[in-house]
Structures are given as structure tokens and as C-alpha cells.
Amino acid sequence: MAATEPRHVVRRPARADARRNFDALLDAARTVFAAEGAGASLEGIARLAGVNIATLYRNFPTRGHLFEAVYLDEVEALATMAAEPGGLEPWEALESWLRQFVSYATTKKAIYDAIAHREEMFVSGRDMIHAAGRPLLERAQQAGLARGDVTFDDVLFLVNGVSGANFVQEAQRDRVLTMALDGIRPPSNHR
């Protein structure tokens, strides 16, 4: 199996209405877990998604199933975003992807302890992230828009540091992330 092929995937229902409920539950869980942590109320997640608790349990029989689905959905979204940069220039594609990565890292931080026993899932997710993000950095480097001495691991350490901090406001996190991203650019390309 190639490193870019996911070993784990989120399996969405086939019916359109069931898929809408499933996706609404994932979005709500992502929001609630990021704000309240892994112990957040499942009833609150169902309410935010606009469904009843039975619909949540039909899709995710246990809290662990919901944690895993949220994590895998985030990884898949990162991989898709990297594969389809939407015509963005090299730096904009990298910056956009890294900002999405910060959101992913915040969600992962909230649920990590709850699913830490799933080592294979995290390794698979890490492999997908590297396969998705590394080409974006290389493309920005080839265009002279990112420092040539920066590795993708360096970038992940930098961005993980930002995402791991407990910011008072989201605007503060965005400012700090912008400062961090400026460190990836060659000195002549700072805004």
C-alpha cells in the first residue's frame, strides 16, 4: 500500500439525507470537541447538528467511533485540500493548507487522549499529512517563496507549536500563526 493511500477512511452513508446528518454530526463534533474537549456532551453535539441523539448513536455507536471519525475526516480534508489547491499560487496554497492544519491540530489535541490507543490510525494519518503537505512546501520552495533550508518536519514543528498554545482569542492565534509563517518565507518575501 502506498503511503498516500489511507488505511482508515470515514465511511459516509450512501443515502443523501443520512450523509447530510453524518456530515452535520462530524462538523458539530469537531466544533464542540475543540471548544470543550473530549468529555463534551454527545447530546450537545447532536443538538448542534440538528439531529436527535438516536441519529448520533446510529452513526457512531460509541464515543470512540465519533472521535475516530472526526480525526480521520480532518486528515482526509487536509489531503484533499493539498491535492486540489484550487489554482492558488505556491505560497498561498501552502499558507492556506497550514492554516487548515492548525484547525486539524486543535481538534486532534482535544481528542488525542481518547484515541491514543489507535497507534496505527495515527501513523496512517501522519503519513497522509506528510504526503499531502510536503509537495506544497516543495512547490513554494521551487518558486522561491519558502526558505530552501526548511524541511516539512520543521514546518510541522513550528505550526504544531502554534496550535498547541492556549490562546485567549482566535485572532491572537491567527496573528501568531502569521508571524510563524513569515519565518518560513525567505527574508525578502516577508509581507
Specify whether the CB–CB gap between 155 and 133 falls below 8 A.
Answer: yes
Do residues 113 and 33 share a domain?
no
Give the closest residue to 5 by CA, choosing from 94, 93, 76, 70: 76
Do residues 104 and 30 share a domain?
no
Name the pLDDT band for 3 (thresholds 50, 70, 90): very low
Do residues 89 and 48 share a domain?
no
Q: pLDDT value at position 1?
A: 35
What does each C-alpha distance from 155 to 48, 84, 121, 142, 178 come to in angstroms? 34, 20, 22, 16, 13
Do residues 101 and 167 share a domain?
yes
The answer to whether the pTM exceeds 0.85 is: no
Q: pLDDT value at position 4?
A: 42
User: Quick check: 113 pLDDT over 70?
Assistant: no
| Domain region containing 22 | 12-61
User: Quick check: 9 pLDDT over 60?
Assistant: no
Domain membership of residue 7 (yes or no) is no
Q: pLDDT value at position 188?
A: 76
C-alpha–C-alpha distance, residues 37 and 84, integer Å: 31
Domain membership of residue 144 (yes or no) is yes
Q: pLDDT value at position 48?
A: 96
Domain membership of residue 22 (yes or no) is yes
Residue 20: CB atoms within 10 Å: 15
CATH code of the domain in which 111 resides? 1.10.357.10
Question: DSSP alpha helices (H): ranges in the chain?
Answer: 16-36, 42-49, 53-59, 63-83, 90-115, 119-142, 152-164, 170-182
Do residues 48 and 107 share a domain?
no
Do residues 99 and 56 share a domain?
no
Give the closest residue to 96 by CA, choosing from 109, 81, 107, 108: 81
Do residues 40 and 117 share a domain?
no
Do residues 129 and 107 share a domain?
yes
Do residues 57 and 67 share a domain?
no
3-state SS class at 176: helix
What would the mean pLDDT of 60-84 be, rounded to a whole number? 87
User: Quick check: 93 pLDDT over 80?
Assistant: yes
Structural domain count, the chain: 2
Do residues 27 and 107 share a domain?
no
Positive or negative: CA dihedral 32, 35, 173, 141: negative
Do residues 51 and 90 share a domain?
no
Domain membership of residue 160 (yes or no) is yes
User: Quick check: 5 pLDDT over 50?
Assistant: no
Do residues 153 and 126 share a domain?
yes
